[in-house]
């Protein structure tokens, strides 16, 4: 899930009023006022035709328009504006909001998660990257342009590992590491604020506190290679520093922005080459990648043939986001087998795929993945933009694909099995949820009082702890059934 994409429009409107922002009906966006009144407190001066964000609370029509602007609510595709366009347009419309709201946003997603009996979230978030981008553009870059289609045949313009190592050295020498601590602080500040809002670790702790939250460092892929490389290097440095701390808040990286965009497409291969290199330098940093969030007609057929395979083979992705175009890849059955054998999980986002790509159940590869034995789990992607929640996605999976309770149970187990939490799995074999790790073999699954050996094992593994908790919840739920 993406942090900003998970927030409902109503929250953005409240935040914009707190930040004393203005709203432009013409571009359907918040913006920072260039002047304020001399009154106490000062009010934003928004200019002809614009409104104060707080006006929305006195003008239901304006409020409704804003909710529609920041989400898919009421959206009907029209000439030249597709669901894809509306979806991705929402993100820049509230871009003027202050970063200080991220703690409230975490509270919102954790509270909603707790209400649905969710226990663990990996939240994608982009910390400030302006300084890293500036550094990236300040150093000389090999000026060849990668060809998006010349992949299977070998792209001669790809930068070598030696060239990338040189670029890394230069970025580090020029001060890229100085940004690392500020980025880490952003994540920990947001978590601290969430903990304060929810009174976590006190006797009045809110239900949201029960949700374990970790972050994925989100990198913007739709920019020139100088910027993408600098931001990606910064992401790896941040996660490595978090891992070194022993208590990481940030556990991996992910690439975002429309995969069908010009630079995402034309630079895709080169970006995977960057990841191949950076993975060799920081092998412990987990990688999940949006790959194959594409469909026929959105891009030319040749653009559908290699993203998932390269994300795994070059990008070292342990999980794939979406993977919608898998059957259009070169040798799709071999690819599916590869994903199954190497236990690469696909994150399935049914509503997102419908509203962005127009891919509905008959066209969706979920049954193909399941039949091929590829691990799959349901996720929301952007629950605020789509105005859904994870329960909606479970329901949709049942209605669209006739999944059973046991299918859903397996998918929830799969999601924690493939989380980026540290430590060995509760299960003896990857994705086989029948044989328990030897330490807990004699215990009743999810028991509130595990044996000494099992307890010691659970203490040693964050991942197994969450898995045990999930089994505990299954016990409670299943014993409550009539």
Judged by the rule CB under 5 A, the positions of this chain that interact with Zn ion are 381
Pick between residue 7 and residue 179 the one whose CB is nearest to Zn ion. Answer: 7
Pick between residue 121 and residue 176 the one whose CB is nearest to Zn ion. Answer: 121
* Position closest to Zn ion via CB: 381
For the bound state, the minimum distance from the C-beta of residue 265 to Zn ion, rounded and expressed in Å, comes to: 17
- Residue 4 tokens read as 């900003």
Q: What share of the chain is helix, strand, coil (3-state, %, to 5)?
A: 50, 15, 35
Pick between residue 211 and residue 257 the one whose CB is nearest to Zn ion. Answer: 257
Pick between residue 242 and residue 381 the one whose CB is nearest to Zn ion. Answer: 381
For the bound state, the minimum distance from the C-beta of residue 184 to Zn ion, rounded and expressed in Å, comes to: 23
Pick between residue 381 and residue 466 the one whose CB is nearest to Zn ion. Answer: 381
Number of helices followed by number of strands (H, E) in the chain? 19, 14
For the bound state, the minimum distance from the C-beta of residue 100 to Zn ion, rounded and expressed in Å, comes to: 24
**51-52/44-45 β-pairing:** unpaired
Pick between residue 93 and residue 168 the one whose CB is nearest to Zn ion. Answer: 93
For the bound state, the minimum distance from the C-beta of residue 350 to Zn ion, rounded and expressed in Å, comes to: 13
Contacts within 8 Å (CB) and 24+ apart, 402-410 = 407/370, 409/474
For the bound state, the minimum distance from the C-beta of residue 264 to Zn ion, rounded and expressed in Å, comes to: 13
- Residue 382 tokens read as 């952007």
Pick between residue 139 and residue 220 the one whose CB is nearest to Zn ion. Answer: 220
Report whether the peptide linkage leading into residue 207 is cis, meaning its omega lies within 30 degrees of zero: no
The conformation of residue 160, written as its DSSP 8-state character, comes to: P
Q: If we measure between CA atoms, which residue out of 255, 225, 8, 29 comes closest to residue 112?
A: 8
Q: Where are the alpha helices (DSSP H) in 71-215?
A: 83-93, 102-115, 130-138, 161-173, 180-197
Name the 3-class secondary structure at 23. strand
For the bound state, the minimum distance from the C-beta of residue 346 to Zn ion, rounded and expressed in Å, comes to: 13
DSSP for 353-422 reads IIIII---GGG-SHHHHHHTT--EEE--SSHHHHT--HHHHHHHHHHHH---HHHHHHHHHHHHHTS--S
CA dihedral 260, 263, 267, 271 (to 10 degrees): -90
Pick between residue 2 and residue 168 the one whose CB is nearest to Zn ion. Answer: 2
For the bound state, the minimum distance from the C-beta of residue 321 to Zn ion, rounded and expressed in Å, comes to: 6
For the bound state, the minimum distance from the C-beta of residue 357 to Zn ion, rounded and expressed in Å, comes to: 12
């Amino acid at each position: 899930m993406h942090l900003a994409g998970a927030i409902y429009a109503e929250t953005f409107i409240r935040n914009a009023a707190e930040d004393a922002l203005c709203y432009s009906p013409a571009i359907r966006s918040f913006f920072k006022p260039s002047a304020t009144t001399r009154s106490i407190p000062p009010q934003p001066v928004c200019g002809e035709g614009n409104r104060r964000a707080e006006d929305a609370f006195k003008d239901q029509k304006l409020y409704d328009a804003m909710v529609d602007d920041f989400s898919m609510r009421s959206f009907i595709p029209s000439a030249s504006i597709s669901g894809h366009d509306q979806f991705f347009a929402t993100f820049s419309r509230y871009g003027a909001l202050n970063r200080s709201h991220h703690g409230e946003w975490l509270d919102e997603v954790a509270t909603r998660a707790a209400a649905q009996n969710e226990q663990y979230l990996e939240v994608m978030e982009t910390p400030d990257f302006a300084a890293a981008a500036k550094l990236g553009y300040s150093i000389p870059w090999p000026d060849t342009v990668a060809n998006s289609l010349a992949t299977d045949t070998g792209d001669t313009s790809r930068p070598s590992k030696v060239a990338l190592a040189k670029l890394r050295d230069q970025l580090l020498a020029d001060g890229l590491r100085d940004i690392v601590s500020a980025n880490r602080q952003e994540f920990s500040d947001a978590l601290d604020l969430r903990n304060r809002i929810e009174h976590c670790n006190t006797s009045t702790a809110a239900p949201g506190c029960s949700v374990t939250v970790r972050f994925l460092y989100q990198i913007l892929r739709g920019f020139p290679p100088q910027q993408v490389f600098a931001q990606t290097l910064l992401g790896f440095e941040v996660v490595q520093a978090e891992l070194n701390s022993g208590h990481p808040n940030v556990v991996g990286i992910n690439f975002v922005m429309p995969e069908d965009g010009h630079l995402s497409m034309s630079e895709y291969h080169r970006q995977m080459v960057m990841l191949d290199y950076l993975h060799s330098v920081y092998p412990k940093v987990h990688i999940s990648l949006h790959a194959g969030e594409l469909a026929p007609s959105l891009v030319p057929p040749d653009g559908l043939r290699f993203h998932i395979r390269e994300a795994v083979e070059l990008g070292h992705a342990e999980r794939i986001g979406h993977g919608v175009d898998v059957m259009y890849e070169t040798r799709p059955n071999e690819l599916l087998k590869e994903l199954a054998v190497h236990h690469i999980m696909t994150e399935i986002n049914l509503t997102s795929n419908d509203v962005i790509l127009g891919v509905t159940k008959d066209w969706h590869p979920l049954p193909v993945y399941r039949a091929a034995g590829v691990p799959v789990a349901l996720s929301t992607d952007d629950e605020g933009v789509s105005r859904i929640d994870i329960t909606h996605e479970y329901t949709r999976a049942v209605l669209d694909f006739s999944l059973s309770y046991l299918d859903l149970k397996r998918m929830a187990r799969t999601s924690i099995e493939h989380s980026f939490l540290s430590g060995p799995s509760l299960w003896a074999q990857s994705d086989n949820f029948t044989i328990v790790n030897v330490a807990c073999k004699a215990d009743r699954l999810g028991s509130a009082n595990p044996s000494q050996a099992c307890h010691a094992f659970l203490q040693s593994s964050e991942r197994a702890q969450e898995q045990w908790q999930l089994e505990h919840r299954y016990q409670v739920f299943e014993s409550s059934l009539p």
